[in-house]
Amino acid sequence: MARSSLVALAACCVLAGFARDMASAQPTQRVVPPSRAAVQWSYAPIVQKVAPAVVNVYASRTEKLARNPLFDDPFFQQFFGRDFAGQARERVQKSLGSGVIVDPSGLIVTNQHVIEGMTQVKIALSDKREFEADILLRDPRSDLAVLRLKGTTERFPVLPFGDSDNLQVGDLVLALGDPFGVGQTVTQGIVSALARTRIDASDYQFFIQTDASINPGNSGGALVDLEGRLEGINTAIYSRSGGSVGIGFAIPVNMVKVVVESAKSGAKSVRRPWLGAKLQSVTPEIAESLGLARPTGALVASLTEGGPAAEGGIKRGDVILSIDGHPVEDPDGFGFRFATHSLGQSASVMVRRGSADVTLPIKLRTAPETPPREASKIEGANPLSGVTLENLSPAVAEELSLEPSSGVVIADVDEGSTAGRAGFQKGDILVEVNGTKITAPRDAQRALADKARLWKVVISRNGQILATVFQG
């Protein structure tokens, strides 16, 4: 039996049928079809309203393939000439997805995985016109990216933002996107579940689940409600075959708003609040000891001295039950809620301490960059060639989803580099090189500058110390 897997995708648009008769109803009012005739109503008015704001995203990059060293060998050149095999060959990598126009100036949101590693992006509108696009912001942590159409002053149709906190299980939704590259497609379904975690599609595990049919190519498309408002960006499906089986996941629009606002401000990255605490799930035993009716909330396992949590009065052993009135089911749920808050304000966090509930104010500020990053690219004939090293400040640890610590971290690994082939990964903490303790990137540069026949490199990965010897 094929193993189940997550498949990146996307979809769009929400439901339409009852728009005419529900125009005067309250936004939170839900109704079922009043008659058999009502079931036959059409979603066409909603589709016509939202489809112009849904686009296709074509991303690509050109790679030069490595030239065979035999082509430069004098022995071969004397028979075949110096121009043997011509210029280095090139290969074009392509990616296909969907996107949503969220600002009349031509601002588009899509999935980061649609454009990951790509350098050229082309947008096809619903009316078949095509535009080049600039990549304004990439946010791998949320799997979102923001693009802007180039060379136009036209005002484009947009999808207005909804409020994903107002969604309820059972609400009707439409999904729009470009599945399998066949062209814009609309599917209909319901919200199957909310606050889905453990999906592993991004750092922020808090997804809208829908049974609207979405497939590869839908990534970055829109999930919309009955009013034609954007409620989510479809990003993944659960599937045994790679096609839709009725379990799709969308990034809630309340996270999309944060990323789009960052792009509008001119930022190249998203700055988010820092808690300064390690959280873990609540077990049935912990719930029973605290008098909780069921295992819910996020247990504070440790605190960073001087962090917002510690300063706000949170203590180790507290269980976070809600933030600004929103219940917290698990650490992922808290992480999403916390990350969608604006900096410079404060959040009200309720914790269970012993048998009492305590409400505490937490200041919303970013993690400090102390010590400074001091990014350093490693090159040369050594096993770490191709990595970028940075000091592991709280800010860097937050960005890389690492435990607060000190030392030097591998912040990036070039694709196809010596370090990549050797198995080094982004997030590895460099501990030692040939007996030299590494406390700053310059320590690694000095240690790796020496020529050696053998290299002993010690790293920390997921809390485990790994030592490897490489031959020079």
* Residue 116 falls inside a structural domain: yes
Domain final position from 149, 173, 196: 149
- Residues in CB range of 153: below 8 A, 6 or more apart: none
What sign does the CA torsion over 390, 391, 394, 400 have? positive
Tell me how far apart the alpha carbons of residues 120 and 123 are, in angstroms, rounded to a whole number: 10
Domain final position from 264, 292, 319: 264
166 shares its domain with 260: yes
306 in helix, strand or coil?
Answer: coil
* Nearest of 405, 16, 406, 41 to residue 186 by alpha carbon: 16
Q: In the structure encoding, which two tokens stand for residue 307, read together? A: 């962090």
Domain final position from 237, 264, 291: 264
Give the model's pLDDT for residue 77: 57
* Residue 269 falls inside a structural domain: no
The residue count of the chain comes to 472
78 in helix, strand or coil?
Answer: helix
* Residue 387 falls inside a structural domain: yes
77 in helix, strand or coil?
Answer: helix
Instruction: Find out whether 278 and 343 touch, Cβ atoms under 8 Å.
Output: no
pTM comes to 0.77
Q: What are phi and psi of 137, to 5 degrees?
A: -155, 135
- The three-state (H, E, C) secondary structure of 405-459, written as one string: CCCEEEEEECCCCHHHHHCCCCCCEEEEECCEECCCHHHHHHHHHCCCCEEEEEE
* Residue 255 falls inside a structural domain: yes
Residue 45: give the domain boundaries. 5-27+40-51+158-264
Give the model's pLDDT for residue 441: 93
Tell me how far apart the alpha carbons of residues 25 and 241 are, in angstroms, rounded to a whole number: 42
144 shares its domain with 70: yes
User: Does residue 252 have a cis peptide bond before it, meaning omega lies within 30 degrees of 0?
Assistant: no
457 shares its domain with 385: yes
57 shares its domain with 47: no
* Residue 272 falls inside a structural domain: no
* Residue 299 falls inside a structural domain: yes
* Residue 32 falls inside a structural domain: no
* Residue 371 falls inside a structural domain: no
Give the model's pLDDT for residue 8: 45
218 in helix, strand or coil?
Answer: coil
47 shares its domain with 185: yes
- Residues in CB range of 213: below 8 A, 6 or more apart: 175, 187, 189, 244, 246, 248
Residues annotated as part of the active site = 113, 143, 219
342 shares its domain with 244: no
398 shares its domain with 423: yes
296 in helix, strand or coil?
Answer: coil
Tell me how far apart the alpha carbons of residues 43 and 46 are, in angstroms, rounded to a whole number: 6
User: CATH no. for residue 447?
Assistant: 2.30.42.10
177 shares its domain with 45: yes
User: CATH no. for residue 208?
Assistant: 2.40.10.10
Tell me how far apart the alpha carbons of residues 354 and 350 are, in angstroms, rounded to a whole number: 13
397 shares its domain with 353: no
The position carrying tokens 């619903």 is: 126
388 shares its domain with 352: no
State how many domains the chain has. Answer: 4
Rg (CA), the chain: 26
The position carrying tokens 């605190």 is: 303
Residue 464's Cβ-count burial label (10 Å; 0-12, 13-18, 19+) is: exposed
Torsion-angle region of 306 (φ positive above 0: left; ψ -120 to 50: alpha; else: beta) = left
Question: Mind listing the pLDDT tens digit of every residue in the chain (472 residues)?
Answer: 344 444 444 333 333 333 444 444 455 577 777 887 776 778 888 999 999 999 999 988 765 555 555 555 565 555 555 555 555 566 666 778 899 999 999 999 999 999 988 888 999 999 889 999 999 999 988 899 999 999 999 999 999 999 998 888 999 999 998 887 777 888 989 998 887 766 555 566 678 998 888 877 888 999 999 899 999 999 877 666 666 667 888 999 999 999 999 999 998 889 999 999 999 999 999 999 888 999 999 999 999 889 999 999 999 999 999 999 999 999 988 998 999 998 999 999 999 998 899 999 999 999 998 899 889 999 989 999 999 999 999 999 888 878 777 789 999 999 889 999 999 999 999 999 999 999 999 999 999 988 888 899 999 998 899 999 988 7
342 shares its domain with 405: no
182 shares its domain with 329: no
Name the DSSP class of 345.
S
